[in-house]
Structure 1
Amino acid sequence: MQKTKLRQYLFVLASLLLLASCSKFSKLQKNGTQQEKYSAALEYYKKAEYYKAGLLFEELIPLLKGGTEAELAEFYNAYCQYHQGLYSSSQFLFKKFYDTYARSSYALEAYYMHAFSLYKDSPPASLDQSNTMTAISALQDFVNRYPDSPFQDECTKYILELRQKLELKAYEKAKLYYKISDFQFYSLKSSVIAITNFQKDFPDSGYNEELAYLKVDAQYNLAKSSLPNKQKERYLDVLTFYRAFVDKYPQSSYGRSAEKLYNESQKEIEKIIKIEEEIKKQKELQDNDPNSPARISTSASQPRNNK
């Protein structure tokens, strides 16, 4: 019972303090002088009350004309957005600060925080990765501009992390085309293209062994679902993809499955060649037969000699 009353008392006390704090802040916003607001903004910032500090800094920035106060207000305001997790705003404000105060002692840190905010704003690999590519570009720009900065190692680590995210995104995209293909022509073709692009973009990826096998499998099923006049060419691509797979991964656990596809493709190519030879043979016989409909038609169409 006593614990319950104590909790109620503490809750009421906390509520009263919060109301008093809000009332004090509201009065400051309405009636405080420029200097009072600036001093209060710095105090709120030190206490990690970033929302209140940010509101005051945003109000003051248009009023402060140059000097240390204006510089610090913009710098701290960018940090207020960052500490609230508003990374899109913070990256913009840090970049704006850098462009405005390029000679400031805070310029290097601001440029780094611009890139770092973009890094923090990078979405999970399952989502669109445009922001991730922007973050990589910004981090690389920082490294190139300040190669001896204390943030060098951190930037290198973040760039690697973001590239791995792009790699995972590309892998999942390539594999998704394969999963949803259900042996449908256009999905299989998209799968082969996506895997080929992945291999070019990430030649050292640990996912390449699996994808190299899936490329053989997708191409085999693509050949099977193709029109007859395209099958031979596409089965030959299966053989090419298989040889590349075996050369790079001779001990792969996918080896037997890939070899089976290779052998089946060879059999299909042999069948197609036999059919082609038979068609060629029949055509030659027809061309040499004077009684064939084609020859008779050709003879009939020739003009008669009246001599």
Structure 2
Amino acid sequence: MGRRTRLLPLILFGLLLISLACAPKSEERRRGYALEFYRKGLKEYRKGDYGDAKKAFENALNYLEHLSPEQIKKAKYLLVKSAFKDKDYIDAAVYAEDFLSNYPGSPEAEEVFYILVESLVKVAPDPYRDQSYTIKAIQKAKEFLSRYPESRFRTKVEEVLEEANRKLAYHEYYIAEFYEEYGYPYNAALRYREVLINFPTYFSEERLAYKYIKNLIMTPEQAKREKEKILELIKEARESLEEVKNPEEVKAIRNRIRFLKGEIERWNEIEKRAREETKKALKSYKEVYGENYYYRKLLKLIEKWKS
């Protein structure tokens, strides 16, 4: 037993010596990998093999502690450009934001910022889907134009901004059409109004105004349907109230009834505002566009709902 106890420190000491001997070799190996991948990245980028260049720079940055500050900066800059040129726009945007957070005042920042804006628009889906990337692209494009008013990329960024605004405009328009088609005129009217205010140049303004007023006219019908559904829910809640004994459950049901009554009042207010806004909007429409085809259709629609 005593012999084993004496051997244990010797074994541990031997392992320590081995690990210390290997450590410099391991670090030297990592330094070699860093430089190897960095040089390969430069080589592939010059050849125009941007996918391979991107992969090499990513690998080099896994060993960035063995690269000089200038090499790290150059690797990150060319990584942005490689991803962008390889049409990998998600990675281009991610790497661009990383570069800008680390080197905001560098000479390369202007170009990287432009790549970020362009990449965000490229990543953004068609107008039928979520436009979070489009909204971010618009924000970044405006920031770019404010920060670099004399930039050589100004024209390109303005074009990107125009493309992003158009995509967002059609997204809002398609949502309005969806609500209109599925019988939610109040929701459709709100969306058409937003399109009128924010994106009038992308559509026929007189047709947009027509669709806005048309859905205002139909809003009382939606209000009527909604109130009927709510009244049915109130009836069910009152019936269940007669069967409940627990005070907490009674309290919960009464709160529900109170909430539902508030919803009826809300729809009454929506209906009232829609009627008032219809009168004002119709008058403005006539003043701006005259008694055109759309105006006459609106008058017929009003007569239809009155009858």
Match of 2:199 in 1: 202
Superposed CA offset, 1:247-294 (max 9, x none): 2221533232122234456x66xxxxxxxxxxxxxxxxxxxxxxxxxx
Shift of 1:33: 5.2
Match of 1:88 in 2: 90
Shift of 1:188: 2.0
Which structure ranks higher in relative contact order (CA pairs < 8 Å, sequence separation ≥ 6)?
Answer: 2
Q: Secondary structure at the match of 1:51?
A: helix
Task: Give the counterpart of 1:118 among 105, 117, 120.
Answer: 120
Provide closer, same or farther for how the CA distance between residues 76 and 255 of structure 1 changes in structure 2, counting only shifts above 3 A. same
Maintained 8 Å contact 1:238/1:262: no
Provide closer, same or farther for how the CA distance between residues 92 and 113 of structure 1 changes in structure 2, counting only shifts above 3 A. same
Match of 2:174 in 1: 172
Superposed CA offset, 1:157-199 (max 9, x none): 2112211111111111112211111xxxxx1221222222322
TM-score by length of 2: 0.66
Greater helix proportion: 2
Task: Give the counterpart of 1:65 among 59, 64, 67.
Answer: 67
Unpaired runs of 5+ in structure 1? 1-28, 182-186, 269-307
| Residue pairs, 1:260-279, within 5 angstroms | 260-264=300-304
Match of 1:11 in 2: none
Instruction: Say whether residues 1:257 and 2:297 are aligned partners.
Output: yes
Provide closer, same or farther for how the CA distance between residues 234 and 79 of structure 1 changes in structure 2, counting only shifts above 3 A. closer
Q: CA–CA distance in 1 between the matches of 2:78 and 2:98?
A: 13
Larger radius of gyration: 1
Provide closer, same or farther for how the CA distance between residues 64 and 111 of structure 1 changes in structure 2, counting only shifts above 3 A. farther
Unpaired runs of 5+ in structure 2? 1-28, 228-266
Match of 1:98 in 2: 100
Shift of 1:40: 2.3
Task: Give the counterpart of 1:108 among 97, 101, 110.
Answer: 110
Maintained 8 Å contact 1:242/1:262: no
Maintained 8 Å contact 1:188/1:222: yes
- Percent sequence identity over aligned pairs: 23
Match of 1:39 in 2: 39
> 242-251 or 159-168: which moved more?
242-251
Q: Secondary structure at the match of 1:112?
A: helix
Specify the code of the residue in structure 1 equivalent to 2:187: S
Q: Secondary structure at the match of 1:254?
A: helix
Q: Secondary structure at the match of 1:134?
A: helix
Specify the code of the residue in structure 2 equivalent to 1:239: K
Maintained 8 Å contact 2:37/2:59: no
| Residue pairs, 1:162-241, within 5 angstroms | 162-181=164-183, 187-224=184-221, 226-227=223-224, 235-241=275-281
Q: CA–CA distance in 2 between the matches of 1:64 and 1:209?
A: 64
Q: CA–CA distance in 2 between the matches of 1:111 and 1:224?
A: 50
Shift of 1:156: 1.4
Provide closer, same or farther for how the CA distance between residues 151 and 220 of structure 1 changes in structure 2, counting only shifts above 3 A. same
Provide closer, same or farther for how the CA distance between residues 95 and 31 of structure 1 changes in structure 2, counting only shifts above 3 A. closer
Shift of 1:216: 3.0
Q: CA–CA distance in 1 between the matches of 2:68 and 2:31?
A: 24
Provide closer, same or farther for how the CA distance between residues 48 and 213 of structure 1 changes in structure 2, counting only shifts above 3 A. same
Match of 2:48 in 1: 48
Maintained 8 Å contact 1:216/1:241: yes
Match of 1:281 in 2: none
Superposed CA offset, 1:118-168 (max 9, x none): 122222111111110100111111111111111111111211221111111
TM-score by length of 1: 0.66
Match of 1:156 in 2: 158
Superposed CA offset, 1:202-241 (max 9, x none): 3445243223222333233333465499678755543333
Q: CA–CA distance in 1 between the matches of 2:199 and 2:105?
A: 39
Maintained 8 Å contact 1:178/1:188: yes
Q: CA–CA distance in 2 between the matches of 1:232 and 1:147?
A: 48
